[in-house]
Structure 1
Amino acid sequence: MAAEKNALIVGASRGLGLGLVETFLQRGWRVTATQRSDSPGLKALASPALTVETADIDDDAAVSALHDRLGGQRYDLIFVVAGVATQAHDPLHAVPRDVAAQVYLTNAVSPIRLAEAFRDRLAADGLIAVMSSILGSVGLNESGGWENYRASKAALNTLARSFEIRHRDEGFGVALIHPGWVRTEMGGPDADIDVATSVAGMADVIEGHLGQKGCVYLDYTGATLAW
């Protein structure tokens, strides 16, 4: 019988994060899910295989405390889902500097800082995944728009590649994953796919990538995206 897999999903209170928690539980994984504040969705998933923790990835002290609380755990997957799209539709010059900076910190800096803090919690051949976006592709940007959000995800991609290179001899992989255009609060009602389709695809991609090394940039179908 295969050993039970263990996942830490960071930013799981709703939307794609919550959907990923539900999907991995259904697939027989043990899951530790983080929320920034109490999540009715996570509460409804109550299961002996689910542990819920509260932490804000923008708070270094909270991340350190979470690391300490989870000291006895080893994870096959650490997936940082958390992200924001504040004033995403506004051109960069119309976004206040502090708002633009916070989007960058939350979407690009905080996921890598969390990965750095938790890399010692990875099981052998583990995988660190971060929720990127096709909008982070510089090469595929032919329509413009979503300027600050695009830039934050492009920065995330760059930082994740550097993180993987810096730790390449430690034996884990890094996956940047585009979930598709999904009907969530962020994606809106006109998006292409529903949460169930996206998270099932992402779970398939992750399960197929466990044990592989290097840094990849994939969508929820497993297709490689241009940087």
Structure 2
Amino acid sequence: MTTSQALIIGASRGIGLGLANILAERGWQVTATTRKQIPSAASGIRWLTLDINLPDERKALKEQLAGQQFDVIFINAGVYGPGHQKLSASSDDELMALFMTNTFSPLRCAEELLPNVKPQTGIVALMSSQLASLNENSDATYPLYAASKGALNMLARGLSAQTNAQGQTLLCVHPGWVQTDMGGKDAPLTVAQSASGIADQLAAWRGKGGHHFVGYDGELLAW
């Protein structure tokens, strides 16, 4: 039986690290990236250095991965942005940093790494949020963060023509409200619970094709 292979972009902590650990524990061969030091993690994970906002580092990663193909490439990126979440109080630099990290760089990374995703059965997954949905987030909770993830969903839709042509599956994933630095200690889900659910979805969606907005628990979300 062939070992499944995953590339997790952004796994230094939180859900990204949790997912790398869960997949490694389930027998996957995992490659993961970190911006700085290698975190304490499950054994056997191959660690590479990447800051997704730096084009030269994205290029170097692509060169390191030349000729390799993965069953799953999961791009986990997310910053909360200005704590006040008010457009009127945000500087242009703050907004650009938010959208660069949550929207533009993840999609650039996904597009650049598409040749490394297996055709027909491979999955490209991007970390989104239920807050990104106009239907699911009727009160505009955390509007700046939500807007950056809504833009991610739309740009991912623009990538779907390429993934469809290769028979790949494209997922925008909602991780739930999780006990991370961003989610806070009052969140109902542990990192392990969220990551385990995401890992289940990666297994369930292999070979399905199309572009889907799905929760860690398998719930299909409204765009």
TM range (shorter): over 0.9
SS in 2 for 1:180: coil
Counterpart contact for 2:104–2:152, Cα < 8 Å:
yes
SS in 1 for 2:178: coil
Instruction: Select which of 195, 211, 214 maps to 2:210.
Output: 214
Name 2:95's counterpart in structure 1.
Answer: 100
Name 1:178's counterpart in structure 2.
Answer: 174
Name 2:52's counterpart in structure 1.
Answer: 57
User: What percent of counterpart residues are identical?
Assistant: 40
| Root-mean-square deviation (Å) | 1.2
For residue 92 of structure 1, what is the amino acid of its counterpart? L
1:170-220 per-residue CA deviation (whole Å, 9 max, x = no partner) reads 221100000000000010011111111101111001111011111000001
CA–CA separation in structure 2 for the residues paired with 1:166 and 1:152: 22
Name 1:123's counterpart in structure 2.
Answer: 118
For residue 150 of structure 2, what is the amino acid of its counterpart? A
Counterpart contact for 2:163–2:170, Cα < 8 Å:
no
CA–CA separation in structure 1 for the residues paired with 2:161 and 2:107: 13
Name 1:71's counterpart in structure 2.
Answer: 66
CA–CA separation in structure 1 for the residues paired with 2:51 and 2:37: 12
Name 2:7's counterpart in structure 1.
Answer: 8
User: What is the Cα deviation at residue 41 of structure 1?
Assistant: 2.5
CA–CA separation in structure 2 for the residues paired with 1:192 and 1:15: 15
1:29-70 per-residue CA deviation (whole Å, 9 max, x = no partner) reads 00000001113324xx332xx210001111111111101011
Structure 1, gaps ≥5 residues long: none
Runs of 4+ aligned structure 1 residues displaced above 4 Å come to: none
CA–CA separation in structure 2 for the residues paired with 1:89 and 1:181: 19
CA–CA separation in structure 1 for the residues paired with 2:84 and 2:161: 33
User: What is the Cα deviation at residue 167 of structure 1?
Assistant: 4.0
Name 1:162's counterpart in structure 2.
Answer: 158
User: What is the Cα deviation at residue 86 of structure 1?
Assistant: 2.0
Counterpart contact for 1:130–1:176, Cα < 8 Å:
yes
SS in 1 for 2:131: helix
Structure 2, gaps ≥5 residues long: none
TM-score norm. by structure 1 comes to 0.94
CA–CA separation in structure 1 for the residues paired with 2:136 and 2:28: 35
Name 2:86's counterpart in structure 1.
Answer: 91
Name 2:21's counterpart in structure 1.
Answer: 22
Name 1:148's counterpart in structure 2.
Answer: 144
Name 1:35's counterpart in structure 2.
Answer: 34
SS in 1 for 2:68: coil
Instruction: Select which of 136, 140, 165 maps to 2:132.
Output: 136
SS in 1 for 2:48: strand
Q: Give the paired residue count.
A: 222
